[in-house]
Amino acid sequence: MVLLADPLVPYQARELLSALSQLALFCSGEGLPATAEVWLSREVIERFIAVGCPQVTERTRGNYRSRLLRLSEVVIGGVCATGKIRKLSASSPHRPYSRTELADLWGWASGQPTEELRWGCKTLMALGAGCGLDSPEVIPLRVHDIRRPSETGGPVVAFTRGPRSREILCRRPWEGVLAAAADRLDIPGSASYLFRPSSHGRGTNTVTNFLSRTKPSQGVPRLVMGRLRSTWLVGLFNERVPITVIVAAAGIDTLHGLSRVLPFLDAVPAEQAAALLRGDL
């Protein structure tokens, strides 16, 4: 493929091979056929750039995309069936966090200079990645909305305010964090807010104003509630949770609200997909 592109693209062979080798590893992990038509299809390149190289910088992702698209044009040509590939953004509001990024964010939250900032960041992570709440749902949440119906059951977020009223079971990895966040503020007779309990003003910018006060850390992504919610959604889809359960838990009325996370879902191996379609599993 690289030989076919030379000298028709403005990149040296080692630059093309660097991007192509990473794409090859991704395609192998996805169980895709080892053909140029598959590897260099713009749909596969789009997915690779979106979710297949989370360990590299945005600049490197951009370089990979440019090289692979030019290679695709020369080798197979064609048009992207899903339309124009979206512009890369370091602050994409819908790209889920990788496990490494979540670990980095947790370390960043734990290293904030004040207890208020530390607990505020950890609470946001538990509500976003653990319960799929976004900023408008976090802001009015009260301490007594975190309910533990039994000693063995995990925390339940009972969001009873607004048009998306529902109860959500917190994901197991975040149960302890959410329970601790509520327990530290669980004073008898108190109706404190769970997030920023000392702030009585509840504006639409409550979360963003709080995050603007946090201390950044080099190499750690920004905490974005939309990305935490996408992380929660992608986790549910990849674990094959029924879509009716996901829709109810997400508080949405149509499937259109889930379309933004579809490029980030794990691919199903061909044999498993065939078995699922036949009804063998």
Structural tokens at position 21: 């080798």
Residue 275 in any domain: the answer is no
Can you tell me whether residue 166 is helix, strand or coil? strand
CA 121/CA 115 separation, integer angstroms: 10
Contacts of 12 (CB under 8 A, 6+ apart): none
**Could you tell me whether strands 156-159 and 166-169 are parallel, antiparallel, or unpaired per DSSP bridges?**
antiparallel
Q: Note the pLDDT of residue 13.
A: 62
Q: Which of 59-63, 101-105, 159-163, 168-172 has the lowest mean pLDDT?
A: 159-163
For residue 147, what are the β-bridge partners? Answer: 156
Residue (of 38, 24, 33) closest to 271 by Cα position: 33
pLDDT band at 107 (very low <50, low <70, confident <90, very high): very high
H or E element at residue 77: none
Q: Note the pLDDT of residue 241.
A: 94
Q: Where are the alpha helices (DSSP H) in 85-171?
A: 99-110, 115-131, 135-138
Domain limits for position 252: 99-264
Specify whether 205 is located in the same domain as 158.
yes
pLDDT in tens, 217-245: 988 999 999 999 999 999 999 999 999 99
More confident residue, 40 or 171: 171
Name the domain count of the chain.
2
> What's the rounded mean pLDDT across residues 103-126?
95
Specify whether 107 is located in the same domain as 207.
yes
Contact status, residue 130 vs residue 177, Cβ threshold 8 Å: yes
Q: Note the pLDDT of residue 5.
A: 43
pLDDT in tens, 134-165: 999 999 999 989 988 766 667 788 776 667 78
Residue (of 194, 145, 136) closest to 164 by Cα position: 136
> What radius of gyration do the chain's Cα atoms show?
22
C-beta atoms surrounding 218 within 10 Å:
4
Contact status, residue 70 vs residue 16, Cβ threshold 8 Å: no
> What's the rounded mean pLDDT across residues 65-89?
62
pTM over 0.85: no
Specify whether 113 is located in the same domain as 50.
no
Contact status, residue 139 vs residue 161, Cβ threshold 8 Å: no
Residue 81 reports pLDDT greater than 50: no
Mean pLDDT of the chain: 82
Residue 270 in any domain: the answer is no
pLDDT band at 12 (very low <50, low <70, confident <90, very high): low
Specify whether 71 is located in the same domain as 115.
no
Specify whether 252 is located in the same domain as 159.
yes
